[in-house]
Structure 1
Amino acid sequence: MRIYRISKNQYINDLSGEGSRLYGGRWNHIGEAMLYFSQNLSLSLLEILVHVDYPRLPLDYSFLEVEIPDNSIKNIQSIEFIEPKWSTEAAVNQLQLLGSNWLKKNESLAMKIPSAVLQPENNFLINPMHKDFQKLKVIKSGKLDLDPRLFRK
């Protein structure tokens, strides 16, 4: 399966999970390395845009397209059991616990989870410490050339 990531230019080739280890994320606590990918490049961009003011969106982003074996993905069918609603900020502690438990079990290279930004689509959590991490194959990378219409008020 091919999945995508967007990052600042200087970090695009860093697949250590160091950023999420230092700052935490929606699905991981501070101190735990994790990589965040999306099923589409466009979803990756949406995941960035929800965290940045449009007029202040930096233009120094790049993308990465990678391939991972289909059999290395744990598929989460539903997380509707999480209360409060899993897609809200109030559920972040529970999502971090779920992601942390997955990392600790070390049972799969990737976990497929629904996107809170666009729920019919999926994101992929990657465990950079998993034994199959070397099976992650970089297909393509490049600088993002974002349309200036994104920056209109």
Structure 2
Amino acid sequence: MVNIASQLEGIIQVVPKKVLSLTDIDYKPRPSKWSKKEILGHLCDSANINHKRFVEILISKEPIVISGYNQDLWVQVHQYHSKFSVEEILNIWTSLNTQIIYLLSAITDEQLELQCKTEEQKAVTLEWLVTDYLDHMNHHLKQIIGK
């Protein structure tokens, strides 16, 4: 888990400068599509949801069931596009992921094997869920800053 925590640390060191250099951060390709700023807001929501999942897996005596959430409504309700500056969203995103880094740094190899279930009742480990979180983040960061 130290490797994933290190990867996450590297990401939060590099991404803010790249995001702040963008000139199209507010551009919405269509009213129904997220702007890059909204995608970043979605990554804040994802960090919130996943942090909660990680903690619940660590403290639960039984495997929890992880459920999805309505991502579009979360972005809409938070009003990332109209109410937040990109700097504010970056501060939230960085803070949330710093909290996740601290959590991941304390997870033991044994805890990585803790199980949870998806809504479809597929059993997955905490390690799988954390890796999926990082993959999801990287996917969206490519949409925002490329590469």
Structure possessing the higher radius of gyration over alpha carbons? 2
Shorter-chain TM-score category? under 0.3
Flag the structure with higher helix content. 2
TM-score by structure 2 length? 0.26
Flag the structure with higher strand content. 1
Structure of greater relative contact order (alpha carbons < 8 Å, 6+ residues apart): 2
